[in-house]
Structure 1
Amino acid sequence: MRIIHYAAALALMLAAPGANAASARTADVLRPSAHPVELRTAPREISVTYTYKGQERTLDDFLGRTKTNGFLVLDGQDIVVERYTGAGRATRFQSWSVAKSFTSAAVGIALGEGRIRSIDDPVDRYLPELAGSGYAGVPIRALLRMSSGIDWDEARDAPRLQVAANKGYPIKTMAARQERGWDWGERFEYTSMNSFVLARLVTKATGVPYHDYVERKLWQPAGMESTATVGNDSHGDSLGYCCYYATGRDFARFGLLYLRGGKANGRQVVPASWVKASTRPSPANPRYGLHWWLGEGGDFTAAGFGGQYIYVSPRHGVVIVKSSTAAVRPDQEEALTAFRAVAAEVARTR
C-alpha cells in the first residue's frame, strides 16, 4: 500500500490546514447527530503478538514506535480497547487521506439519490470547467479507482496542492490545468487531485456544498456524536482528499457504518451496493477499490499519511482506528499485519 512518500509528506503536513493559526480558519463545520450511535465501553485485556518480516513483535511496541496517540478497537458496538497518549476522547484527530473514503461515501450516496446518473459518466459532464483538461472524457469510476490518467506524482504534487490550498489558491483552477499523462484505466496512480474533483462533483451534482451534503447525508445519519471540521481552499470548495478533524470514536463509527453494510441506527445511510462496490478490487490495482485500500480475506482500510487508519474486518466483526502524532516512515504493511492479529484476538476472546 503506497500512500505518499515520507519526505514529501512531511512538507505537506507542515503546510496543512490546522498546522498554524491562519490556516485553521479554512475549515467547515460538521454538526453531530441528534441520535448518536451508541458505543458501549466494554474494556478487556487484549494481548497481541504478530510476526512481521520474520520477527515476532507486540502490539504495544508497534503503537509506541509509530507514535500512536489514539487507538480504538470495536467489537461490534463495544469499545474493547481505547488508548490515548497526549490526547483524549474529545481530541479531534487529523484524518489526512482517510478523508478520501468519506468522499467516496458521499459520491455513493449522491449516486443512490440519482443526483449522479452513473459513475461511468465522464466527470466533465458535471464539471464543464474540466472539458479542456486532462479530465475531459474520464469516467467518474476511473477517479474513484485512482486510474484517471492524469499526469501526477503524489510525492511531488500533493505537497504543492496542499500548500496552494493553505494559501487560499482556488484548487478548481489547478484541477482545470491538469494534463493527461496516459490513458485512463491504464494504470494505478494515487492522485489526491482526483479526490478534490470528486468532492467538487458532489457539490455540483447535488447543488449543495460538499461539507453540507456530508453533514446532512452522512455525518448526522451515521450517528456521529461530536462536531468535526473539514478543510477547504477558502473559495468554497472542500478539499475532499484530506483534512477531516474528528474524534477517534466518530472515525470508529464510520468504520462501523461500513462494517454494517452502510446502515446506522436501523437506517440505510450509504447504499449497500456502494459499500460492496467500494471494497471490490480494481483492474489497475487489486489492492484498491473505490477510494478504499483492500486487504486479504475481505478486510479493507481507509488510510492516511503518518499512520492514520480506519480498519474494517467483516470476517471478525471488528473495527480499528489508529491516529498518530507525527510523520513517521511508512508502516502500512506492518499496520495491516498488526490489525489482523488484533481482530483475530478480539474474535477469539469473545
Structure 2
Amino acid sequence: MTCIPPFRDPTKPGAVIIPRQDWDRAPWNRWTFQHVRDLVPTSQVWRGQGPASPLPENLQDIDAVGFELDGQRDTIGGFLETSYADGMLLLHRGKVIAERYLNGMTPRTPHLSQSVAKSVVGTVAGILIGRGLVDPAAPITQYLPELKATAYRGATVQHVLDMTSGVVFDETYTALDSHMAQMDAACGWKERRNSSWPSNVWELILSLKEVECTHGSSFRYRSIETDVLSFVLQRAAATPLAELVSRELWAPMGAEEDAYFTVDPAGYALGDGGFNATLRDYARFALLHLGGGEINGRRIVPAAWIKETRTGALPELFGGVYHEVLPEGAYHNQFWVEDSKRRAYMARGVFGQLIYIDPEADFAAVILSSWPEFVSTTRTRTSLAAVRAIREALSL
C-alpha cells in the first residue's frame, strides 16, 4: 500500500489532520475543493500570453427571485445560503448579471470541477474532430491498439464520447471495492487498499475485460470512458492532456488564470474529474458554448460540433435512474442534454458542480459547490429549478 502523509489546513495551526482517504468528502471538502493542488500532484494548464476575454457586466439583484419545487418555495438568496454553494456566476446576453463568492472563495480561487472536467475534455475532442485528427466513427483500437485485449475491443470513439460502450465499470462512489474505488487510488487521490489494484489510470483501463451489453445499445455513466477518450486525444495529437487543453482551449478562449489537472503516478492528467479553475474562467467556457464555439470574435470550436452536441443525442438510450433528474434528457459528447426540445445542455460533477448552457435564452449559469453528498437528486433538481427560475425572470 502506498504511504501518503496526511495533511492539515495550514491556515489553522493545530487543526485536526484531514484524513487522506476522505479529503474529498464532507466536511473536509468545504476547504479541500479550493486547495486541491496543496493535496495531490497536479499539472498546469497554461492560460497563454494573450489578454483575458472580457466579461462585461450588467449586474442585477437576483436574490428575491422565487421558485418552487415539489410544493416547497424558496428564493435564490435562500438557495445560496443552504445549498453549500462556493460560487455562482450568471451570464445573460453576453454579460455577467450576478457573481457571488461564498465559503472563503475568491475570484482567483481555483475550484475542483469533478466531472465538469469531462465536458472540458469533450470540447477538446470536438476541436480535434473538426480538424480531422480524430474520427468519432473509428474504433478506439485504431488509436489505442493496446485495448484489443480489453472489453473496449469493437467500441468506437463515439461510444466513449456518449458513454454507450458495453464495458463493465462499477461507478459506486461509496463502495470500497468498486471500480470507482480503484480509480481513486489509480489516479493518485487515495491510497491503494489492495496491492493487486492498478497503480495508474492506464493500468485500470487495461484491466477492464468484461462487457455487460452490446456497444452502443445503452447509456451507462462510466467515468473511465472519459479517460479512454483522453488517451485517444493524447495519442492522436501526440500531446499530453494538460498541454492539449491549454493549447486548444484554455489559451485560445482567453482564460484569465491558469487551470490545472490532478495527475496520476504515471503523470496522466485525470480527464474524468481532476480539472480545477476559477469561477470566471468556467464562465468563459460557458460563454464559448453560448457563442456556438466562438468567443471574443475568435472561432475555437466548430459550430457544427456544438450544434450536433445539442441535437444529436439519442434519448432512447437514456433511462432508469437518470430520468429522476432529467426525465426528458440524454447524454452526448460528454455533455448532459436537458431535453430534445429546448436543447439546453450541461456539464455536471459530483458534490454539486454545474455549468448550465441555454443558447436559445442566451443564458448560462455556473455553480461550484461542496455538498455533503456525492450525488443528491433533491439538490440537483433544486439547483436546476433555481437556474430555470432566474432564466425565466430574465425573459420577462
TM-score, normalization by structure 2: 0.80
Following the alignment from structure 2 to structure 1, what is the Cα–Cα distance between the partners of residues 61 and 356? 20
* Residue 3 (structure 1) aligns with: none
2:55 and 2:96 in contact (8 A); partners too:
yes
2:154 and 2:215 in contact (8 A); partners too:
no
* Residue 204 (structure 1) aligns with: 235
Secondary structure in structure 2 of the residue aligned to 1:185: coil
In angstroms, what is the RMSD of aligned CA positions? 2.2
* Residue 344 (structure 2) aligns with: 299
1:12 and 1:159 in contact (8 A); partners too:
no
Is the counterpart of residue 341 in structure 1 residue 352 in structure 2?
Answer: no
Deviations 1:79-105 (A, max 9, x none): 111111121101111100000001101
285-294 or 88-97: bigger deviation? 285-294
1:146 and 1:194 in contact (8 A); partners too:
yes
* Residue 7 (structure 2) aligns with: none
* Residue 204 (structure 2) aligns with: 174
1:260 deviation in Å? 0.6
Following the alignment from structure 2 to structure 1, what is the Cα–Cα distance between the partners of residues 24 and 229? 22
Structure 1: which 4+ aligned runs deviate by more than 4 Å?
18-23
Secondary structure in structure 2 of the residue aligned to 1:56: strand
TM-score, normalization by structure 1: 0.90
Is the counterpart of residue 216 in structure 1 residue 216 in structure 2?
Answer: no
1:61 deviation in Å? 2.2
Distance verdict in 2 for CA 1:38–1:54, change over 3 Å: same
Deviations 1:79-137 (A, max 9, x none): 11111112110111110000000110111111111111x21111111011111000011
Is the counterpart of residue 29 in structure 1 residue 51 in structure 2?
Answer: no
Following the alignment from structure 2 to structure 1, what is the Cα–Cα distance between the partners of residues 69 and 185? 36
Following the alignment from structure 2 to structure 1, what is the Cα–Cα distance between the partners of residues 387 and 365? 7
Secondary structure in structure 1 of the residue aligned to 2:248: helix
1:230 deviation in Å? 1.0
Q: Which amino acid aligns with 1:42?
A: N
* Residue 6 (structure 1) aligns with: none
What fraction of aligned residue pairs are identical, expressed as a percent? 28
Which structure has the bigger radius of gyration? 2
Following the alignment from structure 1 to structure 2, what is the Cα–Cα distance between the partners of residues 215 and 76? 26
Following the alignment from structure 2 to structure 1, what is the Cα–Cα distance between the partners of residues 306 and 254? 17
1:265 deviation in Å? 2.1
Following the alignment from structure 1 to structure 2, what is the Cα–Cα distance between the partners of residues 212 and 192? 21
1:151 deviation in Å? 0.6
2:262 and 2:270 in contact (8 A); partners too:
yes
1:221 and 1:264 in contact (8 A); partners too:
no
* Residue 317 (structure 2) aligns with: 284
1:157 deviation in Å? 2.5
* Residue 56 (structure 1) aligns with: 73
Following the alignment from structure 1 to structure 2, what is the Cα–Cα distance between the partners of residues 120 and 340? 35
Distance verdict in 2 for CA 1:316–1:21, change over 3 Å: closer
Deviations 1:51-97 (A, max 9, x none): 21122222222222220010111123321111111211011111000
* Residue 150 (structure 2) aligns with: 133
* Residue 290 (structure 2) aligns with: 259
Matches within 5 A, 1:38-187: 38-46=54-62, 47-85=64-102, 86-116=104-134, 118-155=135-172, 156-166=178-188, 169-179=199-209, 180-187=211-218
155-164 or 332-341: bigger deviation? 155-164
Q: How many residues align?
A: 337
Is the counterpart of residue 234 in structure 1 residue 282 in structure 2?
Answer: no
- Note the residue ranges of structure 2 that are not aligned, 5 or more in a row: 1-20, 173-177, 193-198, 319-328
Following the alignment from structure 1 to structure 2, what is the Cα–Cα distance between the partners of residues 186 and 79? 41
Following the alignment from structure 2 to structure 1, what is the Cα–Cα distance between the partners of residues 131 and 299? 12
Within the candidate set 330, 355, 366, 1:310 is matched to 355
1:98 and 1:302 in contact (8 A); partners too:
yes
Following the alignment from structure 1 to structure 2, what is the Cα–Cα distance between the partners of residues 139 and 244? 25
Distance verdict in 2 for CA 1:56–1:326, change over 3 Å: closer
1:25 deviation in Å? 4.5
